[in-house]
Amino acid sequence: MKICVTGGMGYIGSHTVIELIKKGHEPVIVDNLVNSNPEVLNRIKKIVKVKPKFYEIDLRDEKKLDKCFQKEKFDVVIHFAGLKSVGESVKKPKLYYDNNIGSSKVLLKVMKKHKVRNIIFSSSATVYGVPKHVPLRETDPVGKAANPYGQTKIEIEKILMKVAKEDKKMNVVLLRYFNPVGAHESGLIGEDPNGIPNNLMPYITQVAVGRRKELTIFGNNYPTKDGTCIRDYIHVVDLAMGHLAALKAIKKKWGLKIYNLGTGKGTSVLELVKAFNRANKLKIKFVYGPRRPGDVVKNYANASKAYKELNWKATHSIVDMCRDSYNWQKKNPTGYQKAKK
Ligand code: NAD
Ligand code: UFG
Protein backbone atom coordinates (compact mmCIF):
# COMPACT_ATOMS: atom_id res chain seq x y z
CA MET A 1 0.00 0.00 0.00
CA LYS A 2 1.07 3.55 -0.58
CA ILE A 3 0.93 5.33 2.74
CA CYS A 4 1.23 8.99 3.59
CA VAL A 5 3.07 9.15 6.90
CA THR A 6 2.66 12.61 8.39
CA GLY A 7 5.29 13.29 11.04
CA GLY A 8 7.25 10.31 9.70
CA MET A 9 10.59 11.96 10.51
CA GLY A 10 9.76 11.95 14.23
CA TYR A 11 10.36 9.38 16.93
CA ILE A 12 7.38 7.05 16.50
CA GLY A 13 6.89 7.84 12.81
CA SER A 14 10.44 6.88 11.81
CA HIS A 15 10.17 3.52 13.61
CA THR A 16 6.85 2.87 11.87
CA VAL A 17 8.27 3.79 8.44
CA ILE A 18 10.91 1.09 8.93
CA GLU A 19 8.36 -1.60 9.74
CA LEU A 20 6.18 -0.50 6.81
CA ILE A 21 9.10 -0.81 4.38
CA LYS A 22 10.00 -4.21 5.86
CA LYS A 23 6.47 -5.40 5.10
CA GLY A 24 6.65 -4.20 1.48
CA HIS A 25 4.58 -1.03 1.83
CA GLU A 26 5.53 2.27 0.26
CA PRO A 27 5.56 4.97 2.94
CA VAL A 28 5.91 8.59 1.84
CA ILE A 29 6.86 10.99 4.63
CA VAL A 30 5.29 14.42 4.98
CA ASP A 31 6.93 16.45 7.74
CA ASN A 32 8.00 20.08 8.30
CA LEU A 33 10.98 19.06 10.47
CA VAL A 34 9.83 21.32 13.30
CA ASN A 35 10.84 18.61 15.77
CA SER A 36 12.99 16.27 13.70
CA ASN A 37 16.21 16.04 11.75
CA PRO A 38 16.81 15.24 8.05
CA GLU A 39 19.50 12.77 9.14
CA VAL A 40 16.63 10.40 9.99
CA LEU A 41 16.30 9.57 6.27
CA ASN A 42 19.92 8.38 6.07
CA ARG A 43 19.42 6.28 9.17
CA ILE A 44 16.29 4.65 7.75
CA LYS A 45 18.25 3.86 4.58
CA LYS A 46 21.02 2.26 6.64
CA ILE A 47 18.51 0.00 8.35
CA VAL A 48 16.24 -1.06 5.47
CA LYS A 49 18.34 -0.14 2.40
CA VAL A 50 15.57 2.08 1.09
CA LYS A 51 15.38 5.85 1.39
CA PRO A 52 11.72 6.74 1.66
CA LYS A 53 10.30 9.63 -0.33
CA PHE A 54 10.10 12.77 1.78
CA TYR A 55 8.10 15.98 1.34
CA GLU A 56 9.11 18.87 3.58
CA ILE A 57 5.66 20.37 4.03
CA ASP A 58 3.83 22.01 6.91
CA LEU A 59 0.49 20.22 6.96
CA ARG A 60 -1.26 23.56 7.35
CA ASP A 61 -0.04 24.50 3.85
CA GLU A 62 -3.04 23.25 1.93
CA LYS A 63 -1.68 24.10 -1.50
CA LYS A 64 1.53 22.10 -1.05
CA LEU A 65 -0.28 19.21 0.61
CA ASP A 66 -2.81 19.11 -2.21
CA LYS A 67 -0.02 18.91 -4.78
CA CYS A 68 1.61 16.07 -2.88
CA PHE A 69 -1.67 14.11 -2.72
CA GLN A 70 -2.30 14.81 -6.40
CA LYS A 71 1.06 13.30 -7.28
CA GLU A 72 1.21 10.37 -4.89
CA LYS A 73 -2.29 8.81 -4.91
CA PHE A 74 -2.23 7.46 -1.37
CA ASP A 75 -4.28 4.52 -0.10
CA VAL A 76 -3.94 5.38 3.59
CA VAL A 77 -2.74 8.17 5.87
CA ILE A 78 -0.98 7.50 9.16
CA HIS A 79 -1.15 10.82 10.98
CA PHE A 80 1.67 11.28 13.51
CA ALA A 81 2.41 14.94 12.87
CA GLY A 82 1.88 17.25 15.81
CA LEU A 83 3.56 19.11 18.60
CA LYS A 84 3.75 17.06 21.79
CA SER A 85 5.38 18.95 24.63
CA VAL A 86 2.96 19.28 27.54
CA GLY A 87 4.91 22.15 29.15
CA GLU A 88 5.20 24.11 25.91
CA SER A 89 1.48 23.65 25.25
CA VAL A 90 0.68 25.36 28.56
CA LYS A 91 2.86 28.34 27.57
CA LYS A 92 1.70 28.47 23.94
CA PRO A 93 -1.81 26.99 23.77
CA LYS A 94 -2.69 28.84 20.54
CA LEU A 95 0.30 27.35 18.76
CA TYR A 96 -0.81 23.87 19.82
CA TYR A 97 -4.44 24.34 18.72
CA ASP A 98 -3.35 25.88 15.46
CA ASN A 99 -0.64 23.34 14.66
CA ASN A 100 -2.28 20.14 15.84
CA ILE A 101 -5.98 20.78 15.22
CA GLY A 102 -5.44 23.14 12.28
CA SER A 103 -3.16 20.74 10.42
CA SER A 104 -5.53 17.80 11.02
CA LYS A 105 -8.40 19.80 9.49
CA VAL A 106 -6.34 20.67 6.40
CA LEU A 107 -5.23 17.05 6.09
CA LEU A 108 -8.83 15.80 6.22
CA LYS A 109 -9.91 18.36 3.63
CA VAL A 110 -7.17 17.28 1.24
CA MET A 111 -7.90 13.60 1.91
CA LYS A 112 -11.55 14.18 1.06
CA LYS A 113 -10.67 15.96 -2.19
CA HIS A 114 -8.45 13.07 -3.27
CA LYS A 115 -10.81 10.39 -1.99
CA VAL A 116 -8.35 8.93 0.51
CA ARG A 117 -10.65 7.23 2.97
CA ASN A 118 -8.38 5.53 5.48
CA ILE A 119 -6.70 7.29 8.38
CA ILE A 120 -4.85 6.01 11.44
CA PHE A 121 -4.37 8.71 14.06
CA SER A 122 -1.82 8.99 16.90
CA SER A 123 -3.94 9.65 19.93
CA SER A 124 -2.85 9.35 23.52
CA ALA A 125 -3.84 7.91 26.87
CA THR A 126 -3.98 11.54 27.93
CA VAL A 127 -7.55 11.67 26.52
CA TYR A 128 -8.74 9.63 29.51
CA GLY A 129 -7.80 12.50 31.85
CA VAL A 130 -7.44 11.45 35.49
CA PRO A 131 -8.37 7.76 35.45
CA LYS A 132 -11.09 6.69 37.87
CA HIS A 133 -9.67 3.19 37.70
CA VAL A 134 -6.97 1.21 35.96
CA PRO A 135 -6.49 -0.58 33.62
CA LEU A 136 -8.13 1.77 31.15
CA ARG A 137 -10.45 0.40 28.50
CA GLU A 138 -11.46 2.06 25.25
CA THR A 139 -15.02 2.23 26.60
CA ASP A 140 -13.90 4.40 29.52
CA PRO A 141 -15.01 8.00 29.15
CA VAL A 142 -12.78 10.62 27.65
CA GLY A 143 -11.85 12.85 30.56
CA LYS A 144 -11.00 16.47 31.09
CA ALA A 145 -7.72 17.40 29.43
CA ALA A 146 -4.97 18.28 31.87
CA ASN A 147 -3.31 20.67 29.41
CA PRO A 148 -3.74 22.20 25.91
CA TYR A 149 -1.75 19.35 24.31
CA GLY A 150 -4.23 16.84 25.72
CA GLN A 151 -7.09 19.06 24.60
CA THR A 152 -5.82 18.93 20.99
CA LYS A 153 -5.92 15.11 21.10
CA ILE A 154 -9.50 15.17 22.42
CA GLU A 155 -10.56 17.69 19.78
CA ILE A 156 -8.93 15.82 16.88
CA GLU A 157 -10.55 12.57 18.07
CA LYS A 158 -13.93 14.36 18.04
CA ILE A 159 -13.37 15.71 14.52
CA LEU A 160 -12.39 12.26 13.29
CA MET A 161 -15.40 10.63 14.97
CA LYS A 162 -17.66 13.15 13.22
CA VAL A 163 -16.00 12.49 9.86
CA ALA A 164 -16.49 8.74 10.30
CA LYS A 165 -20.15 9.28 11.21
CA GLU A 166 -20.89 11.57 8.30
CA ASP A 167 -18.99 9.71 5.60
CA LYS A 168 -19.81 6.03 5.73
CA LYS A 169 -16.95 5.27 3.36
CA MET A 170 -14.36 6.60 5.80
CA ASN A 171 -12.25 4.29 7.95
CA VAL A 172 -10.88 6.00 11.04
CA VAL A 173 -8.60 4.26 13.53
CA LEU A 174 -7.75 6.09 16.75
CA LEU A 175 -4.71 4.57 18.45
CA ARG A 176 -4.30 5.69 22.03
CA TYR A 177 -0.65 5.29 22.93
CA PHE A 178 0.50 4.85 26.48
CA ASN A 179 4.18 5.67 27.20
CA PRO A 180 6.41 4.97 24.20
CA VAL A 181 10.07 4.35 25.05
CA GLY A 182 12.96 2.34 23.57
CA ALA A 183 14.54 2.55 20.15
CA HIS A 184 15.31 0.45 17.10
CA GLU A 185 17.71 -2.34 18.07
CA SER A 186 20.35 -0.97 15.67
CA GLY A 187 20.68 2.17 17.79
CA LEU A 188 20.50 4.20 14.58
CA ILE A 189 17.18 5.89 15.33
CA GLY A 190 15.61 6.87 18.62
CA GLU A 191 14.06 9.65 20.66
CA ASP A 192 15.86 12.97 20.35
CA PRO A 193 14.13 15.61 22.47
CA ASN A 194 15.07 19.28 22.27
CA GLY A 195 16.56 20.75 25.43
CA ILE A 196 15.89 19.26 28.85
CA PRO A 197 13.76 16.13 28.43
CA ASN A 198 10.28 16.28 29.96
CA ASN A 199 9.86 12.54 29.84
CA LEU A 200 11.35 9.96 32.12
CA MET A 201 13.25 7.61 29.78
CA PRO A 202 15.14 10.25 27.78
CA TYR A 203 16.07 11.92 31.05
CA ILE A 204 17.45 8.64 32.40
CA THR A 205 19.46 7.96 29.21
CA GLN A 206 20.92 11.47 29.31
CA VAL A 207 22.01 10.91 32.92
CA ALA A 208 23.49 7.59 31.80
CA VAL A 209 25.70 9.26 29.15
CA GLY A 210 26.69 12.12 31.46
CA ARG A 211 24.62 14.85 29.83
CA ARG A 212 22.63 15.38 33.06
CA LYS A 213 23.93 15.07 36.61
CA GLU A 214 21.08 13.13 38.17
CA LEU A 215 17.46 12.23 37.74
CA THR A 216 14.86 13.88 39.94
CA ILE A 217 12.02 11.51 40.71
CA PHE A 218 8.92 13.65 41.00
CA GLY A 219 7.30 12.49 44.22
CA ASN A 220 7.79 9.39 46.38
CA ASN A 221 4.70 9.63 48.54
CA TYR A 222 2.02 8.52 46.08
CA PRO A 223 -0.32 5.70 47.11
CA THR A 224 1.62 3.03 45.17
CA LYS A 225 3.82 0.15 46.31
CA ASP A 226 7.01 2.25 46.34
CA GLY A 227 5.48 5.73 46.44
CA THR A 228 6.32 6.61 42.81
CA CYS A 229 3.89 6.95 39.89
CA ILE A 230 2.92 4.05 37.66
CA ARG A 231 2.86 4.10 33.85
CA ASP A 232 2.48 1.64 30.98
CA TYR A 233 5.78 1.84 29.09
CA ILE A 234 5.66 0.37 25.60
CA HIS A 235 8.56 -0.31 23.24
CA VAL A 236 8.38 1.98 20.22
CA VAL A 237 8.84 -0.97 17.85
CA ASP A 238 5.81 -2.69 19.40
CA LEU A 239 3.93 0.55 18.89
CA ALA A 240 5.06 0.67 15.25
CA MET A 241 3.81 -2.91 14.82
CA GLY A 242 0.46 -1.81 16.25
CA HIS A 243 0.08 0.49 13.23
CA LEU A 244 0.84 -2.36 10.87
CA ALA A 245 -1.76 -4.50 12.60
CA ALA A 246 -4.33 -1.72 12.26
CA LEU A 247 -3.44 -1.26 8.60
CA LYS A 248 -3.91 -4.95 7.91
CA ALA A 249 -7.26 -4.98 9.63
CA ILE A 250 -8.75 -1.99 7.79
CA LYS A 251 -11.51 -3.26 5.59
CA LYS A 252 -14.09 -1.60 3.47
CA LYS A 253 -16.76 -0.03 5.67
CA TRP A 254 -14.80 -0.47 8.86
CA GLY A 255 -15.98 2.86 10.15
CA LEU A 256 -14.55 4.07 13.45
CA LYS A 257 -12.28 1.93 15.62
CA ILE A 258 -10.47 2.85 18.83
CA TYR A 259 -7.60 0.89 20.36
CA ASN A 260 -5.33 1.30 23.35
CA LEU A 261 -1.73 0.52 22.52
CA GLY A 262 0.00 -0.41 25.74
CA THR A 263 1.40 -3.51 27.40
CA GLY A 264 -1.26 -3.72 30.09
CA LYS A 265 1.45 -3.67 32.74
CA GLY A 266 2.12 -0.86 35.17
CA THR A 267 5.70 -0.01 36.10
CA SER A 268 6.66 2.53 38.75
CA VAL A 269 9.32 5.19 38.20
CA LEU A 270 11.58 3.47 40.71
CA GLU A 271 11.07 0.09 39.04
CA LEU A 272 12.00 1.59 35.69
CA VAL A 273 15.20 3.09 37.11
CA LYS A 274 16.11 -0.27 38.67
CA ALA A 275 15.37 -2.12 35.42
CA PHE A 276 17.53 0.37 33.55
CA ASN A 277 20.40 -0.25 35.95
CA ARG A 278 20.01 -4.00 35.62
CA ALA A 279 19.73 -4.00 31.83
CA ASN A 280 22.75 -1.78 31.31
CA LYS A 281 24.88 -2.61 34.34
CA LEU A 282 24.81 1.00 35.51
CA LYS A 283 23.73 2.95 38.54
CA ILE A 284 21.63 5.96 37.64
CA LYS A 285 22.03 8.72 40.21
CA PHE A 286 18.70 10.03 41.42
CA VAL A 287 17.14 12.24 44.08
CA TYR A 288 13.53 12.57 45.17
CA GLY A 289 11.88 15.90 44.44
CA PRO A 290 8.39 17.32 44.84
CA ARG A 291 5.45 15.97 42.85
CA ARG A 292 5.07 17.30 39.31
CA PRO A 293 1.78 19.21 39.03
CA GLY A 294 -0.80 17.44 36.89
CA ASP A 295 0.76 13.95 37.18
CA VAL A 296 -1.69 11.09 37.49
CA VAL A 297 -0.83 8.41 40.04
CA LYS A 298 -1.48 5.31 37.96
CA ASN A 299 -2.04 4.96 34.25
CA TYR A 300 -2.00 1.69 32.35
CA ALA A 301 -3.94 0.07 29.58
CA ASN A 302 -6.22 -2.82 29.14
CA ALA A 303 -4.85 -3.75 25.73
CA SER A 304 -7.04 -6.79 25.14
CA LYS A 305 -9.20 -5.19 22.43
CA ALA A 306 -6.18 -4.69 20.15
CA TYR A 307 -5.20 -8.32 20.75
CA LYS A 308 -8.69 -9.63 20.09
CA GLU A 309 -9.45 -7.57 16.99
CA LEU A 310 -6.03 -6.80 15.51
CA ASN A 311 -4.12 -9.81 16.78
CA TRP A 312 -1.54 -7.39 18.16
CA LYS A 313 0.20 -7.40 21.47
CA ALA A 314 3.40 -5.90 22.79
CA THR A 315 6.26 -8.37 22.98
CA HIS A 316 9.18 -6.34 24.34
CA SER A 317 9.94 -6.34 28.07
CA ILE A 318 10.91 -3.41 30.27
CA VAL A 319 14.49 -4.68 30.13
CA ASP A 320 14.39 -4.62 26.29
CA MET A 321 13.09 -1.06 26.43
CA CYS A 322 15.87 0.04 28.81
CA ARG A 323 18.58 -1.72 26.79
CA ASP A 324 17.47 -0.26 23.46
CA SER A 325 16.97 3.27 24.83
CA TYR A 326 20.49 3.27 26.24
CA ASN A 327 21.98 1.70 23.10
CA TRP A 328 20.56 4.55 21.00
CA GLN A 329 21.74 7.23 23.45
CA LYS A 330 25.20 5.67 23.85
CA LYS A 331 25.70 5.62 20.08
CA ASN A 332 24.24 9.13 19.70
CA PRO A 333 25.00 10.96 22.96
CA THR A 334 23.79 14.28 21.53
CA GLY A 335 21.07 12.83 19.35
CA TYR A 336 21.02 13.30 15.57
CA GLN A 337 22.60 16.73 15.59
CA LYS A 338 26.19 15.82 16.16
CA ALA A 339 25.96 12.12 15.56
CA LYS A 340 28.62 10.52 13.42
CA LYS A 341 27.19 9.91 9.97
P1 NAD B 1 7.85 13.72 17.34
O2 NAD B 1 7.86 15.16 17.71
O3 NAD B 1 9.13 12.99 17.38
O4 NAD B 1 7.25 13.57 15.85
C5 NAD B 1 6.25 14.40 15.37
C6 NAD B 1 6.66 14.88 13.98
O7 NAD B 1 5.64 15.74 13.47
C8 NAD B 1 7.97 15.67 13.97
O9 NAD B 1 8.86 15.11 13.05
C10 NAD B 1 7.54 17.07 13.57
O11 NAD B 1 8.53 17.73 12.82
C12 NAD B 1 6.27 16.83 12.78
N13 NAD B 1 5.31 17.94 12.74
C14 NAD B 1 4.79 18.64 13.78
N15 NAD B 1 3.93 19.57 13.33
C16 NAD B 1 3.88 19.46 11.98
C17 NAD B 1 3.18 20.13 10.95
N18 NAD B 1 2.35 21.15 11.21
N19 NAD B 1 3.38 19.74 9.67
C20 NAD B 1 4.21 18.73 9.37
N21 NAD B 1 4.91 18.06 10.30
C22 NAD B 1 4.75 18.41 11.59
O23 NAD B 1 6.75 13.01 18.22
P24 NAD B 1 6.45 11.45 18.45
O25 NAD B 1 6.83 11.10 19.82
O26 NAD B 1 6.99 10.66 17.32
O27 NAD B 1 4.86 11.47 18.42
C28 NAD B 1 4.13 11.20 17.24
C29 NAD B 1 2.65 11.40 17.52
O30 NAD B 1 2.27 10.53 18.59
C31 NAD B 1 2.28 12.81 17.97
O32 NAD B 1 1.03 13.14 17.42
C33 NAD B 1 2.18 12.68 19.47
O34 NAD B 1 1.32 13.64 20.02
C35 NAD B 1 1.62 11.27 19.61
N36 NAD B 1 1.91 10.68 20.92
C37 NAD B 1 3.19 10.64 21.36
C38 NAD B 1 3.47 10.13 22.63
C39 NAD B 1 4.88 10.11 23.15
O40 NAD B 1 5.06 10.00 24.37
N41 NAD B 1 5.92 10.19 22.31
C42 NAD B 1 2.42 9.64 23.43
C43 NAD B 1 1.12 9.66 22.93
C44 NAD B 1 0.88 10.19 21.66
N1 UFG C 1 9.25 11.63 35.90
C2 UFG C 1 10.20 11.85 36.87
N3 UFG C 1 11.28 12.59 36.54
C4 UFG C 1 11.49 13.11 35.30
C5 UFG C 1 10.49 12.87 34.31
C6 UFG C 1 9.38 12.12 34.66
O7 UFG C 1 10.07 11.39 38.01
O8 UFG C 1 12.49 13.80 35.08
C9 UFG C 1 8.07 10.81 36.26
C10 UFG C 1 6.75 11.55 36.10
O11 UFG C 1 6.48 12.30 37.24
C12 UFG C 1 5.79 10.40 35.86
C13 UFG C 1 6.63 9.36 35.11
O14 UFG C 1 7.99 9.71 35.36
O15 UFG C 1 5.40 9.87 37.07
C16 UFG C 1 6.40 9.37 33.63
O17 UFG C 1 6.53 10.69 33.15
P18 UFG C 1 6.59 11.04 31.59
O19 UFG C 1 6.66 12.52 31.48
O20 UFG C 1 7.64 10.24 30.93
O21 UFG C 1 5.19 10.49 31.05
P22 UFG C 1 3.71 10.94 31.39
O23 UFG C 1 2.92 9.69 31.55
O24 UFG C 1 3.63 11.89 32.49
O25 UFG C 1 3.30 11.71 30.07
C26 UFG C 1 3.22 11.01 28.83
C27 UFG C 1 3.43 11.94 27.66
C28 UFG C 1 2.31 12.93 27.58
C29 UFG C 1 0.99 12.22 27.56
C30 UFG C 1 0.89 11.31 28.75
C31 UFG C 1 -0.37 10.49 28.74
O32 UFG C 1 4.63 12.67 27.81
O33 UFG C 1 2.45 13.61 26.35
O34 UFG C 1 1.98 10.41 28.75
O35 UFG C 1 -0.40 9.70 27.63
F36 UFG C 1 0.00 13.14 27.59
Specify the 3-state DSSP secondary structure of 4. strand
Work out the burial of residue 235: count CB atoms within 10 Å of its CB; fewer than 13 is exposed, 13-18 middle, 19 or more buried. buried
Residues of the chain with pLDDT under 50: 339-341
Q: Is the CB of 200 under 6 A from ligand 2?
A: yes
- Expressed in angstroms and rounded, the spacing between residue 80 Cα and the centre of ligand 1 is 5
**Number of the ligand closest to the Cα of 180:** 1
The Cα–Cα gap between 16 and 42 comes to: 15
Catalytically annotated residues: 149
Amino acid residing at 134: V
pLDDT number for residue 122: 98
Q: CA 48, 27, 341: angle at the middle one, nearest 5?
A: 40
pLDDT number for residue 340: 41
DSSP string, 191-251: ---SSS--SHHHHHHHHHTTSSS-EEEE-S-SSSSSSS-EE-EEEHHHHHHHHHHHHHH--
- Mutate which of 18, 28, 31, 189 to test ligand 1's pocket (most atoms within 8 Å of Cβ)? 31
300 within 8 A of 264, measured Cβ to Cβ: yes
**Number of the ligand closest to the Cα of 81:** 1
Length of the chain: 341
pLDDT number for residue 251: 81
- Mutate which of 28, 43, 80, 173 to test ligand 1's pocket (most atoms within 8 Å of Cβ)? 80
What single-letter DSSP state applies at residue 49? Answer: S
Beta bridge partners of 136: 301
Number of H helices, E strands in the chain: 12, 14
- List residues near ligand 1 (CB under 6 A): 7, 9-13, 31-36, 58-60, 80-84, 99, 103, 122, 124, 177, 180
pLDDT number for residue 337: 81
Q: Is the CB of 292 under 6 A from ligand 2?
A: yes
pLDDT number for residue 253: 80
DSSP string, 276-294: HHHHHT----EEEEPPPTT
- Mutate which of 130, 200, 268 to test ligand 2's pocket (most atoms within 8 Å of Cβ)? 200
Record the pTM: 0.98
Please count the other Cβ atoms lying within 10 Å of the Cβ belonging to residue 198: 14
Q: Is the CB of 220 under 6 A from ligand 2?
A: no
Taking only the tens place, the pLDDT of each residue in 101-115 is 999 999 999 999 999
**Number of the ligand closest to the Cα of 199:** 2
Work out the burial of residue 313: count CB atoms within 10 Å of its CB; fewer than 13 is exposed, 13-18 middle, 19 or more buried. middle
